[in-house]
Amino acid sequence: MAMTDLFDALQPMAELAPCFLAPGLLLARGFFDAEAQKRLAAEILAITTRSPLYVPRMPRSGKPLSVKMTNCGTLGWVSDIDGYRYQPRHPETGEPWAPIPALAMQAWRELSGDPLTPQACLVNFYGASARLGLHQDSDEGDFSAPVVSISLGDSALFRYGGLRRNDPTRRVKLDSGDVIVLGGPSRLVFHGVDRIIPGTSDLLPGGGRINLTLRRVTKPR
């Protein structure tokens, strides 16, 4: 086989093989195929009927975030005028969160390298103009497990940097079905979403993007 043919044959595999963007920062492109994306998106949409998306607010200022949120899992991450925290119930309905869908659990099992199960799954919904500023995921009581982050729907421009807010940053486009893992030396890197690219996916009715962030919250006993 000619060398160029070999490269052509290997290209799809190279694109799908998980790759490290930085030590501990894994990108698994196309982890979910089209069929799995549809099943997972349908489960998340069902979760939003039981646990409706709500508008989170910044601590102190009460300024609304552009991303809408809900959760599944035993604990959910919430942000309101009183601060950031994890709680077992929806802040508006007072109901417990729904269980984390099996497909999301599968991504955790196959990519996190953590023997325990995630306690929290934050569901972020991005409409056409939503964005998420640079931040660290640091409200957990234990950082030994990674954060596993699943993209569904429209593509997003994801920004990541280092452990200090002012460290240089890079940008990567995340497509539907991609999964990012922030673990080890990258567990606490600053990251955010500059914007989504509307119209790049027809997975979600009405368009937009869903991100699922799976986390362990408490220290294992």
In eight-state DSSP terms, residue 112 is S
- Per the DSSP assignment, residues forming a β-bridge with 73 are 120
Decide if residue 71 touches ligand SIN (CB under 6 A). no
**170, containing H or E segment:** strand 170-174
Please list the alpha-helical segments (H only) found in 17-128: 34-50, 102-111
Q: Which is nearer to Mn ion, 105 or 134 (CB)?
A: 134
* Count of alpha carbons within 13 angstroms of residue 76, beta-carbon side: 27
Q: Which is nearer to Mn ion, 137 or 140 (CB)?
A: 137
Site string for ligand SIN, 105-144 (x = CB under 6 A): -------------------x-------x------------
Judged by CB under 5 A, the residue of 68, 124, 137, 201 near Mn ion is 137
Sheet holding 191-197, edge to edge: 132-135, 191-197, 155-160, 170-174
Q: Which is nearer to Mn ion, 128 or 188 (CB)?
A: 188
Is residue 146 a contact partner of residue 114, using CB atoms and an 8 Å limit? Answer: yes
Site string for ligand SIN, 167-206 (x = CB under 6 A): ------------------------x-x-------------
Decide if residue 140 touches Mn ion (CB under 5 A). no
The least CB distance from residue 155 to ligand SIN, in Å, is: 11
Decide if residue 32 touches ligand SIN (CB under 6 A). no
User: Which tokens is 49 given?
Assistant: 């009927």
| Secondary structure class of 184 (helix, strand, coil) | helix
Q: Which residue ranges make up the site for ligand SIN (CB under 6 A)?
A: 124, 132, 149, 156, 158, 191, 193, 211, 213
Q: Which residue ranges make up the site for Mn ion (CB under 5 A)?
A: 137
